[in-house]
Structure 1
Amino acid sequence: MNFRLRENPWRLMLAVNAAVLIGVFWHKITLPPYVPYIHLLVDYHFGFTKRALIGAVVSLFTAKVPVWLVFALGGTVWLITAGLFVQLFRRTFGFEHKHLPLFVLMAGSPFFLKNFMHTLGHFDIYGCLFAICLLLIPARSLAYVFLAALFSIVLVLIHHIHLLMYVPTIAVIVVLRHYLVHGTGRQNVAVGIASLGAVAALFVTAQFYGTVPVPEMAFVAHLHSRMADPSQTKLLNFGYIWYQPLSKEIWDTWQRLPHNLLGVPVFALLIWLHTPLWRYFRNLIAALSIDAHRHIVTAAIIIVSLGYLVMFAIVFDYSRWISNWAVCLFLILHAVKMLPALKDTPSISADDRKTIVFGWIVTLIPRVGIVRAF
């Protein structure tokens, strides 16, 4: 058995990743879920409110929200996302030995499932979940475009920052899986533009008209009435974010910028550790059989990256943003693999010593974090 593990370290990495995930989970449940919990309390009691969809759905089932629901709901969504990603990888690549390095560098990346475990209860994972669903289901008709628009609307209602975080990636998946296959006929284009317009209009409404129309004290009192344990008033400390204007968020971000920029070298190092994966992605794009597809994929990656650059200037949760940016690239890679290619792209070498070292380092890093690296 030991000999077999030495011969195939990638399987051992998978086992170690599972152990690391368990450790991250046990650490996570010891921390107070300030922001995730308050999102379960906020609903549409005072009318249309930004960031209130999840809380509104929870309110349909229970009038009092226990703290453990953050971990139960977040854990359930995490398990569904992880299971669907495994299914996606199996369908796109398969689990032959030659594809294990790619799977470890994706599924075992501190950017991905491990960081989603650390941010359990936050809303980022919903964007990833919906994008994976769109990669799994057939893209045969305009119903696919409508479904993508519906997913995007739900994401903006969950949190309007999804307009920059996962909606662009969803749009890229729709373009690569539907429009490049079925063409850009008048009806196709009209539905696409209408969908983008509807999502954009909803974002503007949420951003500028989703503020709670009552004094903060009345708002917090309502949240307090929904708590299963009213004594945990510290969990309501973040009620102010429903009143904070965009200008204040930008000001806070730029005030923290000098300190937060200290984490950029760490982010750069983490990205570099995924070099075999990025090299494979580059070769995958180069192998596409149609020149226009290569240009569209390159432009799509730039657009998605620019969206995250804007997020860096607006909100200071840098560790989350860089992690989700990497996840978006992982998902776009799967969409690119589905496009016609001139030849098969060679898999990441499972025997290359440097790649194995990268795989072990990526495996042993438990997470990236929320605001600052680690």
Structure 2
Amino acid sequence: MDLRAFREHPWRLMIALNAAVALGVLLHKITLPPFVPYIHLLVDYHFGFIKRALIGATISLFAAKVPVWLVFALGGTAWLIALGLFVALFRRTFGFEDRQLPLFVFIAGSPFFFKNFMHTLGHFDIYGCALAIVLLLIPARSLLFVAAAAVASMILILIHQIHFLMYVPTIAVIVVLRHYLVHGIHRRNAIAGFAACASVGLLFLVVQFYGSMAVPEARFVDYLSGRMADPSQTRLLSFSYIWYQGLAKEIHDTWARMPSNLLGVPVYALLIWLHIPLWRYFAALIRALSDEWHRRVVIAAISAVSLGYLIMFAIVFDYSRWISNWAVCMFLILHAVKTLPGADVAPVAAEDRRNQVFGWIVTLIPRVGIVRPF
């Protein structure tokens, strides 16, 4: 397609530019030391059951030594898989006609979504997103769907217990919207849902309160050094303390940083506002639902997921990551809402100049960050 055609179809140009921006974020990311992502690949269950060890334990089944480049290889693979899954989901939910491209730009091209996942390459956030997308793609007709959601949630908690607030609530919303609202609540699936919630909740409590390392930190670090392909990179083990840090210490550190972190709130509010065409579409979609009970459940679900993130903001200080993942959860819930019975809603207007301006701004913002904005 020539340049003139791109000018006539600005939303296609935005998609192409988003791809270029994501590549630029990747080139910058690989120049940074992967402190937290790398140590997670080293930690396994050698000293018994501990938190944040599932990924490292899985890698230990195939490799005795872990090279640093594996952070980028594994993270890049997860990113590509999540992107492929999302494209398949978007195609099935909305299609890829020209009139749906603005919606794709505001979701997939959002600095909250794949561009920020590229910046946080190697972190565990994207696994929650990918598993939630899988649950949006697979059939939801039987109790196997409820069981699959429970297993996915438990896997995420074993990867990192913060998923209990970050993606598990969204997975629960997907189950409610895709299974319970469609098939109704009866004794059998009510029992299955209760058992799933109880199992996930129990695992979280075990991981959170009984998953600390039992051996001295010096011994733990020595073991991790033995798993490194390049033992000279000892600086990458500087985050070993997180396996000894309790919930009270995490809350204390978060509130100690609260004054500086709150300075970023206006920036997050502005970034959210820049997605206003998307939020208006989402609100119209909810209003168009044919069942008043469905509308109430969706609003309650969005409120519950948002409450989980507010709790997380009070516990862990990676605010830029949390606000980005909150937005991703809203994007995924939007897809689930679209499957409910309702009137057809006009897509984000492609010809609207204001929408185009918002689209260009969202496209040009490379990412949100990890702890502070940008």
TM-score, normalised to structure 1, is 0.99
Q: Does 1:272 pair with 2:273?
A: yes
Counterpart of 2:33? 32
Counterpart of 2:288? 287
Counterpart of 2:310? 309
**Per-residue Cα deviation, 1:268-318 (whole angstroms, up to 9, x for no partner):** 000000000000000000000100000000000000000000000000000
Aligned-pair CA distance for 1:3: 2.5
Q: Does 1:372 pair with 2:372?
A: yes
C-alpha separation in 1, matches of 2:200 and 2:224: 28
C-alpha separation in 2, matches of 1:187 and 1:46: 40
Aligned-pair CA distance for 1:22: 0.6
Counterpart of 1:319? 320
1:81-96 equivalences under 5 Å are 81-96=82-97
Which amino acid is the alignment partner of residue 46 of structure 1?
A: F
Counterpart of 2:344? 344
Q: The residue matched to 1:316 in structure 2 has which SS?
A: coil
Counterpart of 2:331? 330
Q: Does 1:128 pair with 2:105?
A: no
C-alpha separation in 2, matches of 1:231 and 1:306: 43
C-alpha separation in 2, matches of 1:2 and 1:214: 62
Which amino acid is the alignment partner of residue 106 of structure 1?
A: I
**Per-residue Cα deviation, 1:205-252 (whole angstroms, up to 9, x for no partner):** 001100111001111111111000000000000000000110010000
Aligned-pair CA distance for 1:4: 1.8
Aligned-pair CA distance for 1:7: 1.6
Which amino acid is the alignment partner of residue 329 of structure 2?
A: C
**Per-residue Cα deviation, 1:318-356 (whole angstroms, up to 9, x for no partner):** 000000000000000000000000x20011000111110
Counterpart of 1:46? 47
User: CA-atom RMSD, angstroms?
Assistant: 0.5
Counterpart of 1:145? 146
C-alpha separation in 2, matches of 1:355 and 1:171: 32
**Per-residue Cα deviation, 1:153-185 (whole angstroms, up to 9, x for no partner):** 000000001000000000000000000111110
Q: The residue matched to 2:33 in structure 1 has which SS?
A: coil
C-alpha separation in 2, matches of 1:288 and 1:219: 54
C-alpha separation in 2, matches of 1:345 and 1:239: 50
C-alpha separation in 2, matches of 1:3 and 1:23: 25
Q: The residue matched to 2:257 in structure 1 has which SS?
A: helix
Q: The residue matched to 1:26 in structure 2 has which SS?
A: helix
1:1-374 equivalences under 5 Å are 1-341=2-342, 343-374=343-374
**Per-residue Cα deviation, 1:189-210 (whole angstroms, up to 9, x for no partner):** 1110111011111000001100
C-alpha separation in 2, matches of 1:264 and 1:213: 38
C-alpha separation in 2, matches of 1:19 and 1:335: 29
Q: The residue matched to 2:263 in structure 1 has which SS?
A: helix
Which amino acid is the alignment partner of residue 244 of structure 1?
A: Q
Which amino acid is the alignment partner of residue 284 of structure 1?
A: L
C-alpha separation in 2, matches of 1:263 and 1:153: 32
Aligned-pair CA distance for 1:61: 0.3
Which amino acid is the alignment partner of residue 263 of structure 2?
A: L
C-alpha separation in 2, matches of 1:221 and 1:122: 23
Aligned-pair CA distance for 1:2: 2.7
C-alpha separation in 2, matches of 1:191 and 1:301: 23
C-alpha separation in 2, matches of 1:209 and 1:160: 12
Q: The residue matched to 1:65 in structure 2 has which SS?
A: coil
Query: Which structure 1 segments of 5+ residues have no match?
Result: none
Aligned-pair CA distance for 1:110: 0.3
C-alpha separation in 1, matches of 2:299 and 2:305: 10
The alignment-based identity, stated in percent, is: 72
Q: The residue matched to 2:301 in structure 1 has which SS?
A: helix
Which amino acid is the alignment partner of residue 214 of structure 2?
A: P
Q: The residue matched to 1:332 in structure 2 has which SS?
A: helix
Which amino acid is the alignment partner of residue 100 of structure 1?
A: L
Which amino acid is the alignment partner of residue 73 of structure 1?
A: L
Aligned-pair CA distance for 1:5: 1.6
Which amino acid is the alignment partner of residue 337 of structure 1?
A: K
The number of equivalent residue pairs is 373
C-alpha separation in 2, matches of 1:232 and 1:4: 50
C-alpha separation in 2, matches of 1:48 and 1:3: 60
